[in-house]
Amino acid sequence: MRALTPTEVLFDGEAPPALLPVCDHYAGSEKLMLKSLALQAQLGPVFDVTLDCEDGAAIGHEAEHAELVASLIGGEHDRFGRVGVRIHDFAHPHWRDDVRRILRSARQAPAYVTLPKVRSVADAAEMCAFVEATRREYGIAKPVPIQLLIETHGALADVFRLASLPTVESLSFGLMDFVSAHDGAIPDSAMRSPGQFDHPLVRRAKLEISAACHAHGRVPSHNVSTEIRDMSVVAADAARAREEFGYTRMWSIHPEQVPVIVAAFAPRDEAIATAADILLAAQAAQWGPTRHGDTLHDRASYRFYWSVLRRARATGRPLPPETAPLFAVSK
């Protein structure tokens, strides 16, 4: 009898929760885009590169910038197909042109399209529908995943409904815009640590976004750390986002932040070893209850330990060779 894999037995026939690279690195200028893609080629697909049309395009040059972005997606510098794009927001006159130019001119579809400054479910749904219609018009075979930036009062109020939209794969928290939207009622200390984790209104927003994502199988993506010199601050921010708020992904705005964020979100060696032991024993027991040390385990805990191994693999951590059959794809 063939040994069944975790994916086959632990999710009741449903797809396991989405898993994306743990770091999302933003680049706006051609120089920084190429530098970011070179770093991705060096480190591997452990982080995504988001080419930015919103803040990257100079006013009046939106079309040229979108064409530049399109030329890099699927090009020689896109080694792993993990390059996405942030387009302009719903109120901007160029957002539809961004979508058309990129989907028409890129050699392949972007890994995702990020929609900034979402203000309502209706606006987000219209943008998602336009991306879907455009990819069909240009003969792109599969839907393009959508990532939403939650940085307005309206988006936060509807965050669970936004997470339920069909093509949405991730919600990201836009800390700076969210704090600014309070017109000075939240101090600027909440834009950095420790205030960004401790201020009640910001803390509430982060928790709501994370909860909505986990309720709908989406990926919660944490806001940037503005620290670009002391990487211990970035590491601490990533650790708090992961351990206290349930985030499984985080933005980067500086190349030196990337390996720090990836390392912070990667499971530790001892956690990987424990997960491997428990899951291999479970597979040998045909996924019935087992005992590890003085602790009993069943399918509920197996799902947790499977998430540890999946995250380890996604962050480039070495796995025990005997775990390879756990990742086998059934035919």
User: Is 86 flagged in the annotation as binding?
Assistant: yes
Q: How far is 48 from 281, CA to CA, in rounded Å? A: 34
Q: Identify which of 29, 131, 24 has the alpha carbon closest to the alpha carbon of residue 83.
A: 24
Contact call for residues 218 and 249 (beta carbons, < 8 A): no
CA-angle at 136, arms to 132 and 138, nearest 5°: 120
177 annotated among ligand-binding-site residues: yes
DSSP secondary structure letter of residue 52: E
Q: How far apart are CA 112 and CA 126, in angstroms?
A: 16
Indicate the helix (H) or strand (E) that contains 178. helix 175-180
Cβ pair 210, 171 in contact under 8 A: no
Tokens 């927003």 — which residue?
Answer: 205
204 annotated as belonging to a binding site for a ligand: no
Q: Are 169 and 184 in contact (CB under 8 A)?
A: no
Residue ranges of the annotated binding site for substrate are 86, 151
Residue ranges of the annotated binding site are 86, 151, 177
Residue ranges of the annotated binding site for Mg(2+) are 151, 177
